[in-house]
């Protein structure tokens, strides 16, 4: 691991789709409220021309456009940039770290692919999902993050069965008894939610969460049911091009459309599949504004989620303890 000149907080997860990005947002906001300027170093996203992506710095949506970021890259960067968070990424993490250190009081390592940090953290936070109890101990490298964690965030306690939350808490305590456990909820935020009532809806979910993350559904389905959708339309019979292959690969998917865009043809196929699927309304539950990248001619509502603390200890308390200690002060 590289050594930083400023304090580093890592936010990683045991599986894709645990809600790590929302936790990163929450931690950045807590630091902001305390007058601390932090930037995000994102785990590498090797989906395009690596030769021109040695060091990336994203501060505006225009930066993402100019870099021709893929959908998968935008899903990790855009929601942060919209909040005013500067995001660093790329290939050469020694140089990336040197650039980030010039402007950050604290660096937030935003882990991807459930990988462990490239920069040595002073505080390690790992997010786990009570909808997938057992996965925290059976997937690599996610289990490494659990074993290394100073703090384990059990997210989605508002939607998971209470018994699952307790099973996960016990599992964490068994393998990492030193870790503090923080409970959080993942609250759904819907634009124009009243439009969903009684409609036949096509739900477009975050691609990684419902494909290799094995969730099968995400915030979009939760929002559709909560707002009284008449029907979740199955897009599989109407899948175009490369999306046919996606559905063949991930046989657990039904009644949801994964947002795919690793390369331009997938974006075109996503647009064509949405156009071909008969529905009254499209629910877009990706972290990005898809309408900036493809043409969606049907009525559309967006679904986002926000992390809220439940009980104690809270993330705020954990961070205050860290900031008051020698590592948080950079000593």
Per-residue pLDDT tens digits of the chain, which is 331 residues long: 999 999 999 999 999 889 899 999 999 999 999 999 999 999 887 666 777 789 999 999 999 999 888 877 888 899 999 999 999 999 999 999 999 999 999 999 998 777 889 999 999 999 999 999 999 999 999 999 999 999 999 999 998 999 999 999 999 999 999 999 999 999 888 988 899 999 999 999 988 788 877 788 888 999 999 999 999 999 999 999 999 999 999 999 999 999 887 678 889 999 999 999 999 999 999 888 888 889 999 999 999 889 999 999 999 999 999 999 988 876 5
- Specify the 3-state DSSP secondary structure of 94: helix
Report the pLDDT value the prediction gives residue 212, as an integer from 0 to 100: 78
Q: Which CATH class is domain 8-186+307-324?
A: alpha beta
Return d(Cα 180, Cα 16) in angstroms, integer. 21
Q: How far are the Cα atoms of 112, 175, 199, 223 from residue 283, in angstroms, in the given order? A: 25, 39, 11, 9
Return d(Cα 207, Cα 195) in angstroms, integer. 24
Q: Who contacts 312 (Cβ-Cβ below 8 Å, separation ≥6)?
A: none
- Domain assignments of the chain as residue spans, ordered by start: 8-186+307-324, 190-306
CA neighbor of 101 nearest in space, from 3, 5, 10, 32 = 5
């Amino acid at each position: 691991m590289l050594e930083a000149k400023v304090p580093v907080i890592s936010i990683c997860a045991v599986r894709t789709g645990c809600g790590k990005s929302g936790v990163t947002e929450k931690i950045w906001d807590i630091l902001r409220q305390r007058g601390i300027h932090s930037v995000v170093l994102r785990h590498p996203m090797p989906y395009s021309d690596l030769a021109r992506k040695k060091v990336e710095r994203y501060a505006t949506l225009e930066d993402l456009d100019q870099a021709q970021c893929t959908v998968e890259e935008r899903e990790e960067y855009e929601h942060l940039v919209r909040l005013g968070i500067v995001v660093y990424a790329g290939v050469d993490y020694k140089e990336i770290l040197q650039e980030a250190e010039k402007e950050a009081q604290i660096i937030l390592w935003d882990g991807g692919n459930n990988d462990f940090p490239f920069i040595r953290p002073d505080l390690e936070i790992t997010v786990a999902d009570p909808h997938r109890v057992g996965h925290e101990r059976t997937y690599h490298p996610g289990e490494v993050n659990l074993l290394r964690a100073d703090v384990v965030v059990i997210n989605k306690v508002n939607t998971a069965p209470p018994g699952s939350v307790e099973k996960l808490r016990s599992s964490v305590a068994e393998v990492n008894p030193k870790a503090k456990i923080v409970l959080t909820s993942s609250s759904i935020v819907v634009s124009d939610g009243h439009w969903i009532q009684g409609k036949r809806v096509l739900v477009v979910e975050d691609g990684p969460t419902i494909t290799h993350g094995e969730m099968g559904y995400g915030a979009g389905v939760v929002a559709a049911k909560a707002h009284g959708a008449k029907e979740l339309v199955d897009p599989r019979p109407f899948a175009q091009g490369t999306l046919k292959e996606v559905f063949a690969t991930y046989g657990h998917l039904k009644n949801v459309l994964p947002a795919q865009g690793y390369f331009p043809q997938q974006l075109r196929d996503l647009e064509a599949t949405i156009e071909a699927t008969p529905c009254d309304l499209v629910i877009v539950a990706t972290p990005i504004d898809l309408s900036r990248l493809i043409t969606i001619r049907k009525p559309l509502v967006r679904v986002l989620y926000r992390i809220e603390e439940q009980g104690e200890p809270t993330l705020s308390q954990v961070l205050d303890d860290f900031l008051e200690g020698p590592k948080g002060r950079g000593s």
